[in-house]
Amino acid sequence: MNTPRDTVMSYWKSAEDRDWNTFASLLSPTVTYDLPQTRERMHGRENYLRFNREYPGDWHLAVEEVLAVAGRVVSRVRFTVNGETQTAVTFFDVDAEGLITAILDFWPEPYEPPPGRAELVERY
């Protein structure tokens, strides 16, 4: 029996491999996908599979961190598209059958720091 952490590791590996059969096998038929930044919500495995298969760009990913507490899992993943990198922080619910039932996804984008704190920080 895979742990919820294993499920999320397989999820990311199958996405990177474009192994959509494995990817789909990890999803509950009623999975929900929630993007709070755009206030978008998607329902169901077929929609979510299509969203991922059709996502544009030659994206690649590297898992940086996965934390799991019972059926709740969070991952921090670095995506690279056309030489640009971005982090995704994603929360998963994994049920007792090892299927992902809910995904809550954050894509924090680069921004310029506000003025007034330069003396406290270094830039990298």
Q: Which residues bind its own copies (CB under 8 A)?
A: 35-43, 47, 50-51, 54, 56, 65, 67-69, 72, 74, 76, 87, 89, 91, 106-113, 116-117, 120-124
Q: Name the minimum Å distance from CB 112 to its own copies.
A: 7
For its own copies, the closer CB: 25 or 47: 47
Nearer to its own copies, 91 or 98 (CB): 91
Sign of CA dihedral 64, 48, 106, 101: negative
92 membership: H or E segment, kind and range: strand 84-94
Q: How far apart are CA 80 and CA 2, in angstroms?
A: 28
**Integer Cα distance of 53 and 100 in angstroms:** 17
CB of 59 to its own copies, least distance (A): 13
Residue 106 token pair: 């954050």
Distance CA 117, CA 11 (A): 40
Closest separation in Å from C-beta 76 to its own copies? 7
User: Among residues 18 and 50, whose Cβ is nearest to its own copies?
Assistant: 50
The minimum distance between CB 57 and its own copies, in angstroms, equals: 11
Q: Which lies closer to its own copies via its Cβ, residue 89 or residue 99?
A: 89
Question: CB neighbours of 49 closer than 8 A, spacing ≥ 6?
Answer: 20, 23, 24, 27
